[in-house]
Amino acid sequence: FMIPSLFSFLIIVNEILKEKEYKQRLYLNVLGVGNFIYYFCWFITSLIYSLLTSLILILSGICFQFGFFQDTNFLILLIFMTTFTLSMQLLGIFLCSLVPNQNAGKSIAYGFILISGVIELFTSNIYIIYQFYIDILPPWFIIIRYILDLYPPFNYTKIFGMISTKS
């Protein structure tokens, strides 16, 4: 259920980097559009993408009678899916401000998607995620946990597992 959110992440990164490559932002600065308005417009665009992606995913899950979607409150699912998609897109906007060109940005975006798939593969069982939060852990493992806590797909997997055990 993470693929549509990652796909919208890729779309946002691609579009912002295309604007950067064509220097459209410089033209907007010449016309008087400031940085705040520029990023605010991308935030609104990301919010609309997030809501649409989440609604389509939730309604598809209900139509195909997946137990996770039928047994969980619609509002909880909407907030959960929308915040994850929005956080991935905001991460994409942040990454776009760091990369120099479109090819490097696409490579980094695909790397993030690959890492998301690997994290989902290894932590798809909620009991594995619980092992990250036991009291007795080596210091290097605690550092890995803090790094993973900053990465939205890890939190998505953690919350998805918690919701699915409750519903």
pLDDT at site 60: 92
Q: What is the pLDDT of residue 118?
A: 83
- DSSP-H helix ranges across 31-151: 35-63, 67-71, 74-98, 102-122, 126-131, 139-149
Q: How confident is the model at residue 4 (pLDDT cuts 50, 70, 90)?
A: confident
Rg (CA), the chain: 18
Cβ-contact 37, 133 below 8 angstroms: no
What CA dihedral angle connects 75, 46, 151 and 94, to 10 degrees? -160
CA distance 73 to 68: 10
Read off the pLDDT band of 59 (50, 70, 90): very high
> Whose structure tokens read 């593969």?
121
Nearest to 81 by CA among 47, 44, 109, 51: 51
pLDDT of residue 78: 92
Instruction: Look at residue 65 and tell me whether its pLDDT is greater than 80.
Output: yes
Distance CA 24, CA 114 (A): 30
DSSP state of 10: H
Q: What is the pLDDT of residues 72-102, one digit of tens each?
A: 889 989 998 898 888 888 888 888 888 888 8
Single-letter code of the amino acid located at 85: T
Give me the chain's average pLDDT, please: 84
Amino acid, single-letter form, for residue 117: G
